[in-house]
Copies of this chain bind each other. A is one copy, B any other.
Amino acid sequence: MTLDAVLARVDTDLDAAMERLMALLRVPSISTDPAYDADVARAAQILAEDLSGMGFDATVRETTGHPMVVAHSGPDAEAPDAPRVLFYGHYDVQPVDPLELWHRDPFDPAIEEQNGKKVIRARGASDDKGQLMTFVEACRAWKAETGKLPPNLTIFLEGEEESGSPSLVPFMEAHADELKADLAFICDTGLFAEGVPAIVTQLRGMMKEELTIKGADIDLHSGMFGGVAMNPIRVLSDVLSALHDENGRVTVPGFYDGVPEISDALRDSWEALNFDAEAFLGAVGLSHPAGEKDRTALEMIWSRPTAEVNGIWGGYTGAGFKTVLPSEAHAKISFRLVAGQDPARLHENFVDWVQAQMPEDCTVSFAPAIGSAASQMDTSHPIFEMTRQALSAEWPEEAAYIGCGGSIPVAGHFKEILGMDSVLAGFGKDDDAIHSPNEKYDVESFHRGIRSWVRVLGGLARA
């Protein structure tokens, strides 16, 4: 059977595949720092050449920022009804500072042992070069064993994911017909737990607000004005304190409008995961779930919208004391959004709600809000269940549909601009130290990751 043969080829080719990954990891493609622009371009070039060599119609596509790599495999006359799918990954990486905390050069990758397991150590090993290469290597093995590439496949690799993706939406809008597919695969997430693969089917969105409350024209002496002049820190504290009610619910009017309850089936499957909230919190020195009192920790993280103050400042914050009434007080607040919430309407409601709390002599201003809607995948497309079964076949445990507390904006853009849902499947582990010193990717993740995609390609070929 073909699938077994391809899987066997993956196994025998693993060392060579790791060499190819390490060649890519040697390129310091840090997208946020212009000093590395040429390296980012070189990483794109390496990938396009590799894909072209495999038979893809692969090109490096310039943008006003870093380039995109787009590769198409074309149709197969023997499989005219094969679904069209798009694979997304990103080849840029995070900066490496603090460099002194790395125990080796972040761009001199090596296979090391960590906790009795082999790992690939380098910046980008997990996020996202290692992950995107699992798919590339799956295609390579497929081609080598079957003689042709999987049909109707587009590989779409971005070089700006770690720097806010400024070119992504314009590029997708300009090339919508070229990129549009039945479904996207995104390989930028992780396992649910050791040995437990996962498909993320809901991602929270984000709304960021920064507000400044102003009182007097200048900082005032508290001996002269204390008590008699309105203190903006007091007003800000009142606003922030009022942001949650005694049950942990966010009080901004309309905040929960349109927020759906998760289905009973999903709730059951989440409960089956036996998420250990105590261990999750205990790892960071906490013991009690805060937030909404009538929700489980997993429900809160994956499916409930939240409001958190990320920063606050005002008045004198140095050593000693300066008995001022400051003229201004500031806060940064981020809302994690779920499907059904409209960032624009939330912004309006939030502004109105804060404005209404301003006392005489205080005004509030807002920095431009930054919002992205949540994503909730429609898992009814059969490729979701096919993928889940493919992952389950490869890994020790059954694959789960899970939520993700963070935001992966590209999934939202695929839905909005190209009308396609995304299958978010990846093989990162919690201890991969992405964005941190000594990033690694388990050799197991890389190996089983390639084999997982081979199984998915097999499923697509049978579809």
The residues of A with any CB-CB pair to B shorter than 8 Å are 204, 206, 208, 210, 215-218, 220-231, 233-234, 236-238, 240-244, 248, 277, 280-281, 284-292, 297, 300-301, 304, 306, 308-317, 321-326, 329-332, 334, 336, 359-361, 370, 404-407
**Whole-angstrom distance between the Cβ of A433 and the nearest chain B Cβ:** 13
Kindly name the residue among A229, A236, A248, A300 whose own CB sees the greatest number of chain B CB atoms within 10 A: A229
Across the interface, do A227 and B292 meet the contact criterion of CB distance under 8 Å? yes
> Which among B242, B289, B334 is the interface contact of A222 at CB below 8 angstroms?
B334
Q: Give the residues in chain B near A361, CB-CB below 8 Å.
A: 281, 285-288, 290
Q: Give the residues in chain B near A230, CB-CB below 8 Å.
A: 286, 288, 290
| Closest residue of B by beta carbon distance from A233 | B309
Copies of this chain, count: 2
**Whole-angstrom distance between the Cβ of A230 and the nearest chain B Cβ:** 4
Across the interface, do B310 and A324 meet the contact criterion of CB distance under 8 Å? yes
Across the interface, do A310 and B288 meet the contact criterion of CB distance under 8 Å? no
In whole angstroms, how far apart are the Cα atoms of A324 and B313 in the complex? 15
Known: A284-B216, A284-B218, A316-B332. A309 touches B231 (CB 8 A): yes
> Which among B277, B330, B334 is the interface contact of A321 at CB below 8 angstroms?
B334
Between A and B, 7 residue pairs with Cβ closer than 8 Å are A208-B321, A226-B306, A231-B309, A237-B243, A240-B241, A288-B361, A311-B315
Across the interface, do A223 and B316 meet the contact criterion of CB distance under 8 Å? no
**Whole-angstrom distance between the Cβ of A223 and the nearest chain B Cβ:** 3
In whole angstroms, how far apart are the Cα atoms of A25 and B287 in the complex? 62
Across the interface, do A220 and B284 meet the contact criterion of CB distance under 8 Å? yes
Across the interface, do A336 and B226 meet the contact criterion of CB distance under 8 Å? yes
Across the interface, do B281 and A221 meet the contact criterion of CB distance under 8 Å? no
Q: Give the residues in chain B near A306, CB-CB below 8 Å.
A: 222, 226-227
Q: Give the residues in chain B near A313, CB-CB below 8 Å.
A: 312-314, 317
Across the interface, do A240 and B237 meet the contact criterion of CB distance under 8 Å? yes
Across the interface, do B301 and A312 meet the contact criterion of CB distance under 8 Å? no
Given A226-B405, A311-B324, 12 more A-B residue pairs with CB atoms under 8 Å apart are: A225-B301, A227-B304, A228-B301, A231-B290, A234-B308, A236-B237, A237-B240, A281-B361, A310-B321, A311-B322, A316-B332, A317-B332
Q: Give the residues in chain B near A240, CB-CB below 8 Å.
A: 233-234, 237, 241
**Whole-angstrom distance between the Cβ of A280 and the nearest chain B Cβ:** 8
> Which among B217, B281, B314 is the interface contact of A228 at CB below 8 angstroms?
B281
Across the interface, do B332 and A289 meet the contact criterion of CB distance under 8 Å? no
Across the interface, do B233 and A286 meet the contact criterion of CB distance under 8 Å? no
Q: Give the residues in chain B near A286, CB-CB below 8 Å.
A: 215-216, 229-230, 361
Across the interface, do A227 and B310 meet the contact criterion of CB distance under 8 Å? no
> Which among B281, B315, B329 is the interface contact of A229 at CB below 8 angstroms?
B281
In whole angstroms, how far apart are the Cα atoms of A323 and B210 in the complex? 12
In whole angstroms, how far apart are the Cα atoms of A26 and B237 in the complex? 47
Q: Give the residues in chain B near A243, CB-CB below 8 Å.
A: 234, 237
Across the interface, do A311 and B301 meet the contact criterion of CB distance under 8 Å? no
Across the interface, do B217 and A285 meet the contact criterion of CB distance under 8 Å? yes
In whole angstroms, how far apart are the Cα atoms of A178 and B231 in the complex? 45
**Whole-angstrom distance between the Cβ of A461 and the nearest chain B Cβ:** 35
Q: Give the residues in chain B near A314, CB-CB below 8 Å.
A: 309, 311-313
| Closest residue of B by beta carbon distance from A322 | B310
Across the interface, do B329 and A312 meet the contact criterion of CB distance under 8 Å? yes
In whole angstroms, how far apart are the Cα atoms of A407 and B181 in the complex? 73
3 A-B pairs with least C-beta separation: A223-B406, A227-B306, A217-B285
In whole angstroms, how far apart are the Cα atoms of A219 and B236 in the complex? 22
In whole angstroms, how far apart are the Cα atoms of A306 and B242 in the complex? 23
In whole angstroms, how far apart are the Cα atoms of A242 and B246 in the complex? 14
In whole angstroms, how far apart are the Cα atoms of A188 and B234 in the complex? 32
**Whole-angstrom distance between the Cβ of A177 and the nearest chain B Cβ:** 33
